[in-house]
């Protein structure tokens, strides 16, 4: 919980290191004076309360030991008439109304003997009395203890930084202390304040499986044993392709693959250590520590010699940092050149700051306050809540039911050669769907599952029934670039990650449509939608070329455009 953080010229708080992320109000016109840093491993355990946050008060919601906790970072301006500010009161009221634990870190700029302030002035004393009265009225607790000052600028010391909790928050905290050790590098005149939270499994380290460290030989052996023991399940699909048998076989196939992967890829923990940026070398750290030492010395002696030495050391440190950044950036670019173009772009985008989905506006204009409310609003905005009843396939021209061409048997469509080639075309590390299966798992276990997959896909194609476990997809909301208001649900777009086995079957069917049925030969030459090698840009380029040719011949061109420029079939009209 940080107050008065470093802000660049665009009123944006930059990430100090890649492992630390930031919650703060993003407003280009106002400088944020409160924020919360969090480790990237906690990204799925924290929720930014946009409806309660301001530029001077950042509020985050989480769970610790099954207790919902409101974490607040608040800067209380010395010149404000209210102490505490209204945003802080709103956060306290929200926690009390919903029975939450409340933990706040604040630069209060208020003085009181209750938290061992050592120097007093009229403004600070009055603010202290107002804040203390509010704390007593709301049954809050000041966690500060000991007589170590929280503020020290070399000229005077005082305790003006507070950790405030309610009863539930107090039960979670322990080991509160001020880190005033001279060996700790701190660029601020406020000391670090630390405390511990009650340990619990829910807020522990995040586990994951690194697919790059998978023992694929063990994976294949375990998968072969699993497929052999469940052979009867797949034989039932061959004899009776009922929806129940198809669902059971597809589920068994997915379970066998995941079981083999889990046994061959051990769980490891996400490190919660904060890595220093690549340019922060040992020489840079020593130079930064020297600035802090000379600053304190100059403030205490007020000698011109010490101030001059501080300025020269600062200039030398800045030159060292600039040179180190250039060297490390050249090394980063050299590593990118060794990667493919797609992975190169992904590596660059990964380092960029993206807008995270938090609170969004409801239809009545108010902001959502929980992840569940946000999900409901986004679902209603981006997905239709009505489903059309299924109807039999019919030919639009004749009205007759569509039947499969008997010329092409399912055995030919899902032949061994096509099944293998379709799978090998996937990028092995493509993101998995909700079943957790990546293409590389299927590719490494192709020998063990090839026949069983073909049996399931063939039965699904003949019966028209898609296995139930293949119909689930993972939906992700991505921010649209360049939007000014990310509280608007329309400022995000959706992508869905379907199960890889379904995409595998789709690719085989698409090959049948392209190669066997020759659908591209039957399409209009003006068709640009859903065509390989064509897009809306291709259609626009075609139109512009026609206009350009007519203008060169001194012809007049008259046209009109609509939002549905390409029509519903993606054709130029």
- 463 pLDDT exceeds 50? yes
Task: Express as a percent the part of the chain with pLDDT over 70.
Answer: 86
- Please state which of the ranges 79-88, 336-345, 358-367, 421-430 shows the lowest mean pLDDT: 336-345
Q: For residues 8-36, give the mean pLDDT.
A: 83
Alpha helices in 404-463 (DSSP H): 410-413, 416-424, 439-444, 446-463
Q: For residues 277-302, give the mean pLDDT.
A: 84
Q: Looking at residue 523, what is its pLDDT?
A: 76
* pLDDT band at residue 573 under the 50/70/90 scheme: very low
- 350 pLDDT exceeds 60? no
What are the residues whose beta carbons fall under 8 Å from the beta carbon of 243, sequence distance 6 or more? Answer: 463, 465
Q: Looking at residue 556, what is its pLDDT?
A: 66
Q: For residues 393-407, give the mean pLDDT.
A: 48
- Please state which of the ranges 50-59, 72-81, 275-284, 420-429 shows the lowest mean pLDDT: 275-284
Q: Looking at residue 205, what is its pLDDT?
A: 61
Strand partners, 268: 208
Residue 554 CA to residue 167 CA, distance in Å, equals 83
Q: Looking at residue 534, what is its pLDDT?
A: 76
Note the pLDDT tens digit of each residue in 528-560. Answer: 776 777 777 888 888 888 888 888 877 766 665
Residue in this structure with the two tokens 């512009």, named with its chain if needed = 544
Note the pLDDT tens digit of each residue in 36-88. Answer: 999 888 888 888 988 899 989 999 999 887 888 999 999 999 888 888 999 99
Domains in the chain: ranges and CATH = 2-204 (3.60.10.10), 358-522 (no CATH), 526-573 (no CATH)
**305-344 core/surface letters (b: 16 or more CB in 10 A; e: else):** ebbeebeebbeebeebbeebeeeeeeeeeeeeeeeeeeee
Q: For residues 109-133, give the mean pLDDT.
A: 89
Q: Looking at residue 391, what is its pLDDT?
A: 46
Q: Under a CB-based contact definition with an 8 Å cutoff, are residues 189 and 161 in contact?
A: no
For 439, the token pair is: 């293409």
DSSP output for 85-108? -HHHHHHHHHHHHTT-EEEEEEE-
Is the bond preceding residue 204 a cis peptide, omega within 30 degrees? no
Q: For residues 354-379, give the mean pLDDT.
A: 84
Q: Under a CB-based contact definition with an 8 Å cutoff, are residues 426 and 443 in contact?
A: yes
Q: 549: buried, middle or exposed (CB in 10 Å: 19+, 13-18, 0-12)? A: exposed
Residue in this structure with the two tokens 């309360």, named with its chain if needed = 49
Pairing, β 157-158 against β 492-497: unpaired
Neighbours of 418 (CB within 10 A): 17
- Phi-psi sector, 99: left (phi>0), alpha (psi -120 to 50), beta: left
Residue 259 CA to residue 26 CA, distance in Å, equals 44
Note the pLDDT tens digit of each residue in 495-516. Answer: 888 999 999 999 998 888 888 8
Average pLDDT over the chain, rounded to an integer? 82
- 398 pLDDT exceeds 50? no
Residue 140 CA to residue 137 CA, distance in Å, equals 8
Phi, psi for residue 149 in degrees, rounded to 5: -70, 145
- 572 pLDDT exceeds 50? no
Residue 424 CA to residue 416 CA, distance in Å, equals 12
- 358 pLDDT exceeds 60? yes
DSSP output for 355-381? PPP---B-TTSPBP-SHHHHHHHHHHH
- Phi-psi sector, 518: left (phi>0), alpha (psi -120 to 50), beta: left
Q: Looking at residue 182, what is its pLDDT?
A: 63
Residue 141 CA to residue 105 CA, distance in Å, equals 12
Q: Looking at residue 559, what is its pLDDT?
A: 62
H/E element, 259: helix 243-264
Note the pLDDT tens digit of each residue in 225-250. Answer: 999 999 899 999 888 889 899 999 99
Q: For residues 133-144, give the mean pLDDT.
A: 92
- 252 pLDDT exceeds 50? yes
Q: Under a CB-based contact definition with an 8 Å cutoff, are residues 68 and 100 in contact?
A: yes
Could you tell me which of 370, 365, 499, 483 has the C-alpha nearest to residue 431?
Answer: 499
Residue 202 CA to residue 199 CA, distance in Å, equals 9
* pLDDT band at residue 568 under the 50/70/90 scheme: very low
* pLDDT band at residue 369 under the 50/70/90 scheme: confident
Could you tell me which of 274, 289, 324, 290 has the C-alpha nearest to residue 15?
Answer: 274
Could you tell me which of 264, 318, 319 has the C-alpha nearest to residue 448?
Answer: 264
Residue 219 CA to residue 260 CA, distance in Å, equals 5
Of 476 and 206, the one with more pLDDT:
476
Note the pLDDT tens digit of each residue in 186-232. Answer: 667 888 899 988 765 445 566 788 888 999 999 999 999 999 999 89
Q: Under a CB-based contact definition with an 8 Å cutoff, are residues 103 and 62 in contact?
A: no
Note the pLDDT tens digit of each residue in 445-459. Answer: 999 999 999 999 999
Residue 498 CA to residue 138 CA, distance in Å, equals 50
- Please state which of the ranges 36-45, 127-136, 464-473 shows the lowest mean pLDDT: 36-45
* pLDDT band at residue 441 under the 50/70/90 scheme: very high
Could you tell me which of 350, 382, 384 has the C-alpha nearest to residue 477?
Answer: 382
Helix axis angle for 231-239 and 243-264, nearest 10°, is 150
Of 154 and 506, the one with more pLDDT:
506
Q: Looking at residue 384, what is its pLDDT?
A: 64
pTM score: 0.66
What are the residues whose beta carbons fall under 8 Å from the beta carbon of 151, sequence distance 6 or more? Answer: 157, 158, 159, 160, 161, 189, 190, 191
What are the residues whose beta carbons fall under 8 Å from the beta carbon of 211, sequence distance 6 or more? Answer: 265, 429, 438, 440
């Amino acid at each position: 919980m940080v107050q008065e953080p470093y802000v660049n010229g665009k009123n944006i708080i930059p990430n100090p290191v890649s492992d630390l992320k930031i919650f703060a109000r993003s407003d280009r016109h106002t400088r944020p004076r409160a924020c919360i840093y969090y480790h990237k491993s906690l990204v799925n355990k924290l929720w930014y309360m946009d409806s309660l946050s301001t530029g001077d008060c950042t509020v985050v919601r989480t769970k610790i030991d099954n207790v919902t906790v409101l974490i607040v970072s608040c800067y209380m301006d010395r010149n404000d008439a209210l102490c505490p500010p209204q945003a802080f009161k709103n956060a306290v009221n929200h926690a009390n109304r919903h029975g939450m634990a409340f933990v706040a870190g604040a630069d209060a700029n208020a003085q009181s003997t209750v938290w061992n302030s050592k120097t007093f002035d009229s403004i600070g004393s009055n603010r202290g009395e107002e804040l203390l009265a509010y704390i007593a009225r709301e049954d809050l607790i000041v966690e500060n203890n000991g007589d170590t000052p929280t503020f020290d600028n070399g000229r005077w010391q005082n305790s003006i930084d507070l950790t405030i909790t309610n009863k539930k928050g107090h039960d979670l905290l322990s080991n509160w202390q001020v880190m005033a050790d001279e060996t700790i590098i701190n660029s601020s005149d406020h000391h670090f304040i630390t405390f511990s939270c009650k340990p619990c499994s829910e807020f522990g380290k995040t586990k994951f499986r690194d697919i790059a460290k998978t023992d694929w030989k063990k994976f294949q052996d375990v998968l072969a044993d699993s497929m052999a023991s469940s052979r009867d399940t797949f034989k039932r699909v061959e004899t009776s392709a009922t929806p129940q048998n198809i669902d059971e076989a597809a589920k068994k196939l997915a379970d066998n693959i995941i079981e083999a992967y889990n046994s061959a890829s051990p769980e490891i923990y996400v490190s919660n250590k904060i890595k220093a940026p690549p340019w922060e070398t040992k020489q840079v750290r020593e130079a930064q520590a020297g600035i802090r030492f000379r600053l304190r010395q100059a403030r205490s002696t007020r000698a011109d010699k010490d101030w001059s030495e501080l300025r020269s050391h600062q200039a030398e440190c800045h030159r060292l940092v600039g040179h180190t950044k250039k060297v490390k950036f050249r090394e980063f670019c050299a590593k990118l050149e060794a990667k493919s173009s797609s992975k190169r772009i992904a590596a660059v985008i990964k380092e960029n700051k993206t807008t995270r989905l938090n609170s969004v506006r409801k239809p009545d204009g108010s902001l959502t306050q929980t992840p569940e409310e946000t999900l409901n609003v986004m679902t209603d905005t981006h997905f239709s809540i009505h489903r059309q009843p299924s109807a039999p396939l019919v030919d639009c021209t004749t009205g007759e039911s569509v039947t499969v061409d008997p010329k092409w048997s399912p055995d030919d469509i899902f032949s061994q050669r096509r099944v293998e080639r379709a799978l090998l075309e996937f990028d092995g590390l493509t993101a998995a769907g909700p079943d957790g299966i990546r293409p590389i798992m299927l590719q490494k276990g192709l020998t063990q599952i090839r026949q069983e997959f073909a049996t399931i896909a063939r039965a699904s194609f003949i019966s028209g029934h898609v296995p139930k476990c293949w119909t689930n997809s993972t939906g992700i909301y991505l921010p649209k670039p360049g939007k000014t208001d990310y509280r608007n649900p329309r400022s995000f777009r959706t992508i869905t990650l379907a199960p890889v086995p379904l995409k595998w079957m789709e690719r085989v069917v698409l090959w049948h449509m392209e190669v066997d049925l020759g659908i591209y030969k039957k399409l209009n030459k003006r068709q640009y939608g859903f065509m390989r090698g064509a897009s809306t840009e291709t259609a626009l380029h075609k139109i512009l070329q026609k206009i350009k040719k007519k203008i060169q011949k001194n012809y007049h061109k008259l046209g009109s455009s609509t939002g549905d420029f390409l029509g519903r079939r993606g054709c130029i009209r």
